[in-house]
């Protein structure tokens, strides 16, 4: 799909950009180059190519998922004004 000068001027108008004829011609050339590159990339057969999340095969180092603190919820709930069934009771704010 090749653009024409009127397309560039219309896009500039919609974007509220003031461009002169020389800038419009430059933009036309650059936009057509982008569309050519997209067409080239779409022509490549990518069947059988597995998608990758990163260009390098890296693994994020994570710490072990282990409990490091003791369960103190009963201690904390002793200080709460109202508790029922292990849950904190709060005033209703939405009617």
Query: pLDDT tens digit string along 11-64?
Result: 999 999 999 999 999 999 999 999 999 999 999 999 998 888 888 878 888 888
| Amino acid 51: pLDDT | 86
Rounded Cα gap, residues 3 and 34, in angstroms: 11
| Amino acid 52: pLDDT | 83
Rounded Cα gap, residues 8 and 15, in angstroms: 10
Rounded Cα gap, residues 52 and 4, in angstroms: 37
| Amino acid 26: pLDDT | 96
Rounded Cα gap, residues 47 and 50, in angstroms: 8
Pair of tokens at residue 27: 């933009």
Rounded Cα gap, residues 65 and 36, in angstroms: 49
């Amino acid at each position: 799909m090749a653009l024409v000068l009127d397309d560039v001027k219309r896009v500039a108008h919609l974007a509220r950009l003031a461009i002169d004829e020389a800038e419009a011609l430059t933009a036309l050339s650059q936009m057509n180059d982008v569309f050519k590159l997209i067409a080239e990339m779409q022509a490549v057969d990518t069947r059988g190519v597995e998608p990758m999340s990163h260009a390098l095969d890296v693994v994020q180092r994570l710490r072990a998922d282990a409990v490091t603190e003791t369960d103190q919820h009963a201690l904390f709930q002793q200080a709460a004004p109202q508790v029922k069934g292990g849950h904190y009771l709060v005033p209703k704010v939405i009617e």
